[in-house]
Amino acid sequence: MSTQQLINTILMVSIFVLVFSGWSICVLLWMVQYARRRKRLQKRMGVIDAESQKAQTLQLWREEYQARRAAARRRKESLGERLERLRADAGWKAPAQIVLLSVVGLAVLAGVMPALLGYHAWFGPAIAVVVLVAFWSITKRGISHRISLFERQLVESLGIAARALRAGHPLVGAFQSISTEIGEPVGRIFGEICQEQALGLDLQDSIRRVANATHNGDLKLFATAVNIQMTTGGNLADVMDSLASVMRARMRLNRRVRVLTASTRMNRNTLLSVPIILFALLNIMSPEYMDVFYSTFPGRCMLAGTVTGMLFGAWVMTKLSVIRY
């Protein structure tokens, strides 16, 4: 190794150490600032107060929720059960296998088309990955929308059932009122309970089966409360009103969290979509200009570094947009 090469190596190592030190200092400062912002957000939301009974209640609720999730993880689901749960959560009418095969076929077709049109071979897999990521994003958005709709309808259903019970209707009559006045998906669920009751099945078993099939914690809590009240007796209307008030309070808290994290989520989506759109446009408008990223080793390293940096940035911004309470 010549003297000039040794000097260049030492210089590169020094620059790397300097950049890494600066990056470490920035990360440390960011972590301190993030901890301070998180504490301020928790104070604004009213979920942190050492001498408040509400904080203890929230902590107990969180521990109970984590215990239920741990118990659910211990029970291994088969692939068919997972696909069926995904289909139900996303609201697909077709079987999950058909939907997934159709998306994979579309991604393969989108990956083959650029090569047939004369573009670079690396461009096809990138488009296929974009199709799969877009499908998963749309699916997650649909699941979130369906869960939110389910919670709102369930709160309304509990109010209808409580008023029907106070008016003197039986529990099955209250469920029938819910099935006629509330649309999909809650109305269909209570309609299934009424149909099974008309066929002679046990009401408690029907409620428990539906609650386990929907994978919704609030509905499982409702099923448990109904089974206990039907076994031991008591005022079921008051239980439904109490459960509805708890659900409304949690929904208000979730909306406050979404408002506080709206800016972070918008910045994340913008910062991730702009480079992808520009990269695709440059490949379409000027393939020879972008060929250096595919045909040369430094270009491939730059492309791999860019993808890695974007994935890391997406992970960091996703963590920033989640408030645990």
Inside any domain, residue 250: no
Which distant-in-sequence residues (6+ apart) come within 8 Å of 58 by Cβ?
47, 325
Lowest mean pLDDT among 111-120, 179-188, 259-268: 111-120
Percent of residues, the chain, with pLDDT higher than 90: 0
Q: Model confidence at 122, in pLDDT bands (50, 70, 90)?
A: low
pLDDT tens track for 143-165: 888 888 888 888 888 888 888 88
Inside any domain, residue 290: yes
Half-sphere exposure of 24 (CA within 13 A, CB side): 6
Q: How far apart are CA 287 and CA 196, in angstroms?
A: 62
Cα dist from 65 to 59, 197, 200, 241, whole Å: 10, 31, 34, 21
Vertex 19 angle, CA 18 and 20, to 5°: 90
Inside any domain, residue 76: no
Contact between 272 and 313 (Cβ < 8 Å): yes
**Assessment of whether the complete model's pTM goes beyond 0.75:** no
Q: What are phi and psi of 304, to 5 degrees?
A: -65, -40
Residue 234 sits in a domain whose CATH number is 1.20.81
Inside any domain, residue 19: yes
Domain membership of residue 32 as a residue range: 3-68
User: Quick check: 61 pLDDT over 80?
Assistant: no
Say what the pLDDT of residue 51 is: 45
Inside any domain, residue 200: yes
Say what the pLDDT of residue 50 is: 46
pLDDT tens track for 216-226: 777 777 887 77
61, 129: one domain: no
Q: What is the 3-state secondary structure (H, E, C) of 148-200?
A: HHHHHHHHHHHHHHHHHHHCCCCHHHHHHHHHHHCCCCHHHHHHHHHHHHHCC
127, 266: one domain: yes
User: Quick check: 166 pLDDT over 80?
Assistant: yes
Number of domains forming the structure of the chain: 3
Which of residues 81 and 95 earns the better pLDDT score?
95
pLDDT tens track for 182-212: 877 788 888 888 888 788 777 777 887 887 7
